[in-house]
Structure 1
Amino acid sequence: MLAAPETWVAIAFVILMGVFAYVGLHRTVLTALDRRSARIKDELDDARRLKDEAAKLLADYRARRASAEHEAQDIIASAKAEAERIAADAKIKMEDFVARRTKSAEGKIASAEAQAIADVRAAAADAAVAAASTILSQSVKGQVADDLLAAGVSEVRAKLN
């Protein structure tokens, strides 16, 4: 049994462990492991805290984005309503403008028609007076002719104008 190399490896291992225990290496290793465990725990706590903060920021940004989208939709709806109102006002103003222009044009046409009728009547009266004057002057002579002519001209002018 002492000749087997495994026996000597076992004896050397036991002696080495005894020396480590005597020197207190196990306490140093345990202390280092405890420090490393505490450092890893702190890093995990920091990671959880950062994860929670990131989740809060993400939720905040999502809420802001939803709010901004809602606000943008409200602005678009408001702009559409304003555009429709402006278009309706413009249509009403255009219709009113066209109606006023039409009425003005009709008034000018009526005035021109009345003026044309008056001009035709005046021309007809002048022609009738001239014709009556010519006919009467050729058929009636003397003072009676002049009196009839003046009375007739006055009467025709009064009736035609």
Structure 2
Amino acid sequence: MANHAETTAPETTAVVEHAPAGGEHHVEPSALGMGPGAWVALSMLIFLGILAYKKVPAAIVGGLDKQINAIRKQLDEAKVLRAEAEKLRAEYAAKIANAEKDAASMVEHAKTEAAAIIAKAEADATAMIGRREKMAADKIGAAERAAVDELRAKAAEAATAAARNLIAKNHSAGADKALVDGAIAGLVN
């Protein structure tokens, strides 16, 4: 049952294809002798032609070029900023290293000064102890001398008082005269 039927319209023609084993028929529409794929291709060509005529690709390329240039500028700025950041990081790393060296130097200097202060304090304490010992020895010596002088003075007073008492008891005015005469005679001879 092969049927071939054509339906004609003023501008549209339909082609009937034979369906295998008696199934439904599929009719593909056509216009001016062109199928749907041809019409799609023709419309795309016309659309692309209009775009080319209106210089749309050049505008798109120009816009893309502007965006590319803007992105390049941003990348260049980012590179400059990164270089500056790395430079600052290196500067701060150097400053930190210098600060650590300075801190170590300050600690070492403080230790040296502390050792010097301790040594000076020990020397001063030793000297002060020596001076105080000498002062104490001098005071003790002075006290001893004063005590000895006082004892001598008291002994001299006691001897003088004892001699006065002995002389007063044992010597009279006549005995004194004989002693004085003997002393004078010993001086003359």
Pick the TM interval, shorter chain: 0.7 to 0.9
Equivalent runs, 1:33-48 vs 2, <5 Å: 33-48=64-79
Amino acid of the structure 1 residue aligned with 2:104: Q
Amino acid of the structure 1 residue aligned with 2:54: V
Question: What value does the CA root-mean-square deviation take over the aligned residues?
Answer: 2.8
Q: Are the structure 2 counterparts of residues 146 and 68 from structure 1 closer, same or farther at C-alpha, using a change threshold of 3 Å?
A: farther
Q: Residue 137 of structure 1 contacts residue 145 of structure 1 at CA under 8 Å; is this kept in 2? A: no
Q: Structure 1 unaligned segments of length 5 or more: list them.
A: 149-161
| Cross-structure match for 2:157 | 126
Deviation of residue 120 (structure 1)?
Answer: 0.8
Relative to its length, the structure with more helix (as a share) is 1
Aligned to 2:151, the other structure's residue is in SS state helix
Relative to its length, the structure with more strand (as a share) is 2
Residue 26 (str. 1) matches residue 52 (str. 2)? no
| Cross-structure match for 1:97 | 128
Amino acid of the structure 1 residue aligned with 2:90: A
User: CA–CA distance in 2 between the matches of 1:145 and 1:92?
Assistant: 69
Q: Percent identity?
A: 35
Deviation of residue 99 (structure 1)?
Answer: 1.4
Deviation of residue 54 (structure 1)?
Answer: 0.7
Larger Cα-atom Rg: 2
Residue 77 (str. 1) matches residue 122 (str. 2)? no
TM-score (norm 2): 0.64
TM-score (norm 1): 0.73
